[in-house]
Amino acid sequence: MSKYSMKCPVCSHPMEVEAMSDDEAMTKMMAMVKEHMATVHADVPMKTDEEMMQMIKDGWSKSESGDAMAAPEAGAAM
């Protein structure tokens, strides 16, 4: 499991998801950002999925969560 975290570009609200892969994290983060935008920033025009994906990629940081002794996952590298 890795932890992915980013801040809302509008209000710096921290958003975190945990996932086994970048793909899974992106799916979860997209859902979280969309919900946040729809509820907190309803007045801000919704980005397209592509723009939002790019925004997340630029903004998030990844860190290992849980057991620090765990071996790095094979194929987890970019």
Contact footprint for Zn ion (CB under 5 A): 8, 10-11, 13, 40
Alpha helices in the chain (DSSP H): 22-40, 49-59
Say how far apart CA 13 and CA 43 lie, in whole Å. 16
Nearest residue to Zn ion by CB is 8
Whole-angstrom Cα distance, residue 68 to residue 78? 20
Q: Closest distance between Zn ion and the C-beta of residue 41, in Å?
A: 5
Choice between 45 and 75, CB closer to Zn ion: 45
Q: How far is the CB of 33 from Zn ion (least distance, A)?
A: 9
